[in-house]
Amino acid sequence: MLVNKRLFLLVKGSEPWLILTIITKLCKLAVTIIQITVLAEFIGKVFADTADLPSLYRTMIIIGGVILVKFILAFAESEFSFRSSIKIRLKLRETIMGKLLQLETGYLEKNRTAPLVTTTVEGVEALQVYFGKYLPQLFYSLTAPVILFLYLKNIQPGSAFVLLACVPLIPLSIIFIMRKAKKMMTEFWSDYEGLGDYFFQSLQGLSTLKMFGRDKTRGENLNKKAWKFRKSTMKVLGLQLTSIGMMDIIAYGGTAAGIIIAATALINGTTSPKGAILILFLASEFFLPLRLLGSYFHAGMNGVSATEKILKLVDEKPQISERATLLPSKLKDISKLKYDMKFSGVSFSYGKNQILNDMNISLEQGTVVGLVGESGSGKSTVASLMCRNYDPSFGNITLGGVDLKKIPLEWLRSHLAVVSHDSFIFCGTIADNLKMANEYATDEEMFNALRIAGLEEFVNTLPKKLLTDVGEQGCKLSGGQRQRLGLARAILYNADFYVFDEVTSNVDVESEKIIWKAIWEIATKKTVLIISHRLATVEKADKIYVMENGNIVESGSHKELIKLKGNYWNTARMQDLVVDVNPIEDEFENKGMNYAKTI
C-alpha cells in the first residue's frame, strides 16, 4: 500500500509530527461529530415541532465555537503536516549530496546528470506530499470510519453497518484495477520518459538536424511518438478513471444506501428523525477520508518512485574504498620525507578493457616529468590513479614510500592539484571560483594568481573586478579565459604536486601561450607532471615517459629520447613536419610570408 519500509526508517525523528498530524485530523473529526450531532438534534426538534429560539441560539453558539476550533485545527494540521517532512527532506538532500560527493566522477560518467538532479530536488520535494499528506491521510482513513461506526452503531446500527461495510470496497476495487494496470503503468512510464527524452534531444540537436535536412522528418517522428504515447496514456488513464469512477459509485452508493436504510428505519419507527438526520449528515464522512487519500495517490506514487531512485543511489558503491590507515601524526612524517611518487607494476582495466599494463614510473619531488603518447594510450588514466579516482587493478602506487591507499583521500588531495583540459567554472563570481582553492585568500593573493595565469589585466578591465559574475558554468567567459581562471585557481591552491592534463587542447592561441608560461613558472617551485600529446610542451621536462597502448615504451630526457631514435623520435619528427609549437603569427613571420595583399 505505497509504504516503503526503508523509507519509513528514514522517518525517524519525524514521527511526532506525523502522529500530531493524525491526532489533529482525529480532533477535527470529533469536532465535526459534535457539530453535526448538535445540528441533527436541533433539526430533530424542528421535526418534532419542539424547537424554540433559545435552542436555535444554543445550536448556533455551539456551531460557532466549532468554527473557531476547526479554524485553529486547520492551521495546526497544516503546520504539523509540513513539519513532518522538513527533517526528512533536509536529511535526504544531504544524504544524496554526500553520496554523490563520495561516489565521485565514476558514477557521473555512467549516469546522466539531468535525471540525477530531478531525483534529488524534485523527488525530495515530492516527498513533502507523501509524508505530510499521504501517510497521515492513510492512517486517518483507516481509523475515521471505525470511529464513526462506533459512534453511530447505537443510534442507527443498520446504516452504520452498511456504511462501514462499504468502506473497504474502495481500496479493494482500486487494488483490483491497479493490479491490472500495473504492467501497463510500467510501460507507460518508460514511454513517457522516452518521449520526453526524444523531445529534449530533438530540441538540443536541432541545429544538427537542420544541417542534414532531417528536421522535418524528426518533427514528424516526434509527432508520431507523441500521438502513440497519447493513445497508451489514454488506455492507462481509462483504467485509472475506472477506479475513480468505482470509488465514486461506492462512496455515493454507500451514502445513499445508509440513508435509505435510515429512512426505512424511520418508517418502521426503529429510529428517531434525529438519528436519520445524523446519518444523512455523517454518511459521507465515512468516505471522505478515502476520497481525499485518492487525490493524494498520484503525489504519493511520485513520492514512492522518487524514493526508490533515491535509495538506489544511496546503495551505490563507491569506485574506491577509503581505507586510510595512516594516523595524522604519521602524515607529518611523509611531509618531512620527500614525496616522490612511484608506480610499481601498476595495471588497470576498466570493464574488459586493459588500459594500463605493468607500469613503472617515478616522479621525484621538485622535478618536471612529461607523459606523452597518442590519445587513448592511457595517459589520463595515470592522472586518475594518482588522485585516486580509481585504484589500480594490480600493483601499487606509493607516495613517499607509503601506499596511496593508506593515505587519507583528503590529505592526498590537499597536496595534489589536477588541471584538466576543461576546468569547470562554477556559477558565481571570479572570487567565488578562486576561493574554492583557498577560502582565506586575500585580494592580493588572488590577483597574484590571476597575474601568473595572465588574467590580471582582463579582470582589472571589469567594472566589478573580482566580484564579476561569470554566469552558469562560466558562460560569460571565453574558453581560454575559463581555462586560465581554472589555472589561477589551481595556483592559489598551492599544492605540492601539480598534474596538467592536456591543459591547452581546447583554447585559443593567445591563451595557450600564457598557460604554458604559467605552467613553467609553477614548475620552478613545485613537482609537476605534464600530460600532453604535443612533444614540444614537454621538451624542457627533466624526464619524459612515452606511452603506447597502456605501456611505457621509452623514458628519458628530450635529448636522450631523440638519440634513441625510437617512438619519441618518430613522433617528434612527424610533429616537426606538422608541429605547431609556435602560434600562427610566428610561423608566418618566420617564413616571411606576406599577407597584406587583398584579392
Minimum distance, C-beta of residue 456 to another protein, in the bound complex (Å):
20
Minimum distance, C-beta of residue 75 to another protein, in the bound complex (Å):
6
**Hey, how many other C-beta atoms are within 10 angstroms of the C-beta on 166?**
20
The number of residues making up the chain comes to: 599
3-state class percentages of the chain: helix first, strand second, coil last, to nearest 5: 65, 10, 25
Report the residue number, 180 or 401, with the smaller CB distance to another protein: 180
Minimum distance, C-beta of residue 157 to another protein, in the bound complex (Å):
18
Report the residue number, 107 or 151, with the smaller CB distance to another protein: 107
Closest CA to 543 of 418, 363, 360, 346: 363
Q: Which residue has the cell 554526500?
A: 98
* Backbone angles phi and psi of 361, in degrees to 5: -140, 155
Minimum distance, C-beta of residue 597 to another protein, in the bound complex (Å):
5
CB 535 within 8 Å of CB 372: yes
At position 368, the amino acid (one-letter code) is V
> What is d(CA 363, CA 383) in angstroms, rounded to the nearest whole number?
12
Minimum distance, C-beta of residue 249 to another protein, in the bound complex (Å):
3
Minimum distance, C-beta of residue 301 to another protein, in the bound complex (Å):
17
DSSP string covering 130-147: IIIIIHHHHHHHHHHHHH
Report the residue number, 109 or 403, with the smaller CB distance to another protein: 109
CB 172 within 8 Å of CB 157: no
Report the residue number, 5 or 439, with the smaller CB distance to another protein: 439
Query: CA–CA distance from 415 to each of 6, 29, 360, 399 (Å)?
Result: 40, 64, 22, 11
Report the residue number, 1 or 593, with the smaller CB distance to another protein: 593
Report the residue number, 344 or 458, with the smaller CB distance to another protein: 458
Strand partners, 359: 346
Minimum distance, C-beta of residue 233 to another protein, in the bound complex (Å):
5
Minimum distance, C-beta of residue 437 to another protein, in the bound complex (Å):
5
* DSSP single-letter state for residue 497: E
List Cβ neighbours of 184 (8 Å cut-off, separation of 6 or more): 232, 235, 236, 239
Minimum distance, C-beta of residue 562 to another protein, in the bound complex (Å):
16
Minimum distance, C-beta of residue 229 to another protein, in the bound complex (Å):
8
Cell triple for residue 57?
441560539
Minimum distance, C-beta of residue 345 to another protein, in the bound complex (Å):
25
Closest CA to 572 of 382, 377, 372: 372
Minimum distance, C-beta of residue 477 to another protein, in the bound complex (Å):
11
Closest CA to 119 of 301, 311, 309, 303: 309
Cell triple for residue 77?
494540521
Report the residue number, 345 or 583, with the smaller CB distance to another protein: 583
Report the residue number, 344 or 505, with the smaller CB distance to another protein: 505
Cell triple for residue 348?
588497470
| Element of type H or E holding 370 | strand 368-373
Report the residue number, 46 or 150, with the smaller CB distance to another protein: 46
Report the residue number, 280 or 369, with the smaller CB distance to another protein: 280
Closest CA to 287 of 174, 154, 127: 174
* DSSP single-letter state for residue 428: S
CB 156 within 8 Å of CB 262: yes
**366-402 in b/e burial notation, b at 16+ Cβ within 10 A?**
ebbbbbbbeeebbbbbbbbbbbbbbbbeebebbbbeb
CB 77 within 8 Å of CB 19: no
Report the residue number, 201 or 335, with the smaller CB distance to another protein: 201
Report the residue number, 395 or 539, with the smaller CB distance to another protein: 539
> What is d(CA 340, CA 344) in angstroms, rounded to the nearest whole number?
13
